[in-house]
């Protein structure tokens, strides 16, 4: 019999450039915060799941054993931008099915310099459009997808800039964000062009940071005294592209599904079904948007507007705090930052705060009850539904 699984504790290390801090420094802050928030001692943790893309093969074990040599199993997920949410997914399923009662989940990454170019990876040599056509530079793939959307739906660079400026507006109020900048739509449009229509301020920065959560059963949360603030994991789904989705072209299945949203739509429909809800029930969203336009495509694929209307969804303010369905209330990847393995857990961190009513000036009004986390990468796409 499946059990009710909850997030009982959350912790985070601010995202940014931390050249003088080690991976252990970053994760220690997040893990300590999550255990304190859940009122859990490390001796009560029965397993640990960690997500990071650029980690050494025994980093996860060393991170956990700094808190105690208790002999628990430690698992490391490496699925690019989806590493953290993949770790969360596996931990959730392990508790739901009764294997454990209390699990620590950690997402982390140290990326103080360098670009995200998957070239040189033998596994990608067989991807013709990535390796042989020179599309291994992520902004180039995304820009081509956005150009296609602009030609198809009449979207404009201004719509992309509105999404980006909203992210910076909210990130300005987030003490854990990397880019705390006051940015206007005009600033976004006039920043240096990376690959048209993308400008520099439409692209996420390289980041270092960590986020952690404690997930447990509702019964255990009661025994820990954390049940009143615990948030239920109501449903989830995960997937990789099928043969029809691969036909979407460059960017359709990598880097956020920017052209079509096929994969996001399919996986999220399964998550809605598992949670027994529909898009009309969702009060707040964290979506994976490392480039402006990611939120636009997700607005359509998650079911909040019709196909081709995503740009207008942002332009007309529907994704704002006071709008119909608020998006990326902590600044998202553009402002909060994008340490690959930490991103999926940072989404959970923010949504738990929103559902608890603890988000301060960034709080979604009217006591949100249902939240959606969407995180994608080369390894998988994961959607989780949380309920208060």
- Residues annotated as catalytic (active site), given as ranges: 81, 338
What stretch of H or E contains 165?
helix 157-171
DSSP string across 32-55: HHHHHHHT--GGG--EEEEE-SS-
Angstrom distance (rounded) from CA 135 to CA 235: 35
Tokens of 165: 């400026």
Nearest to 291 by CA among 144, 183, 154, 182: 144
- Tell me the CB-side half-sphere exposure of residue 48, using CA atoms within 13 A: 29
Angstrom distance (rounded) from CA 143 to CA 246: 17
By the 10 Å C-beta count (0-12 exposed, 13-18 middle, 19+ buried), 232 is classed as middle
DSSP string across 102-144: EEEEEEEE---S-----TT-GGGTT-HHHHTSSTTSHHHHHHH
Classify the C-alpha dihedral 254-258-259-263 as positive or negative. positive
How is residue 378 annotated by DSSP? Answer: S
Classify the C-alpha dihedral 331-332-337-343 as positive or negative. positive
Cβ atoms of 46 and 102 within 8 Å: the answer is yes
Angstrom distance (rounded) from CA 102 to CA 92: 10
Residue 153 CA to its chain's centroid (Å): 27
């Amino acid at each position: 019999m499946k059990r009710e699984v909850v997030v009982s504790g959350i912790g985070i290390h601010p995202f940014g450039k931390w050249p003088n801090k080690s991976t252990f420094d970053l994760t220690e802050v997040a893990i300590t915060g999550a255990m304190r928030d859940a009122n859990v001692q490390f001796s009560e943790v029965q397993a640990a799941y960690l997500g990071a893309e650029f980690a050494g093969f025994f980093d996860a074990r060393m991170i956990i054993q700094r808190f105690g040599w208790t002999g628990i199993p430690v698992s490391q997920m490496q699925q690019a931008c989806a590493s953290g949410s993949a770790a969360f997914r596996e931990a959730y399923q392990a508790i739901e099915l009764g294997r454990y009662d209390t699990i620590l989940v950690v997402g982390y990454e140290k990326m103080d310099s360098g670009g995200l170019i998957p070239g040189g990876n033998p596994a990608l040599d067989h991807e013709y459009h990535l390796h042989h056509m020179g599309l291994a530079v992520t902004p180039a793939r995304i820009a081509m997808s956005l150009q296609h959307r602009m030609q198809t739906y009449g979207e404009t660079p201004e719509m992309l800039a509105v999404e980006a400026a909203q992210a910076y507006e909210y990130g300005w109020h987030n003490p854990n964000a990397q880019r705390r900048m006051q940015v206007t739509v005009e600033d976004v449009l006039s920043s240096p062009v990376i690959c048209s229509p993308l400008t520099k301020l439409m692209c996420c920065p390289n980041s270092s940071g960590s986020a952690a959560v404690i997930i447990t059963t509702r019964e255990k949360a009661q025994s820990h005294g954390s049940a009143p603030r615990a948030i239920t994991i109501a449903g989830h789904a995960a997937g990789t592209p099928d043969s029809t989705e691969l036909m979407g072209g460059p960017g359709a299945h990598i880097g956020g599904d920017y052209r079509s949203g096929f994969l996001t739509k399919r996986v999220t429909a399964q998550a809605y079904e598992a949670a027994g809800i529909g898009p009309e029930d969702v009060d707040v969203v964290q979506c994976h948007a490392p480039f402006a336009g990611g939120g636009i495509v997700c607005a359509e694929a998650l079911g909040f507007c019709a196909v081709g209307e995503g740009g207008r969804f942002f332009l007309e303010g529907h994704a704002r705090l006071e709008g119909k369905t608020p998006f990326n209330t902590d600044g998202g990847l553009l402002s909060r930052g994008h340490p690959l393995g930490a991103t999926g857990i940072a989404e959970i961190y923010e949504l738990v705060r929103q559902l608890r009513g603890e988000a301060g000036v960034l709080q979604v009004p009217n006591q949100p009850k249902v939240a959606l986390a969407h995180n994608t990468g080369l390894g998988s796409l994961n959607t989780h539904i949380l309920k208060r």
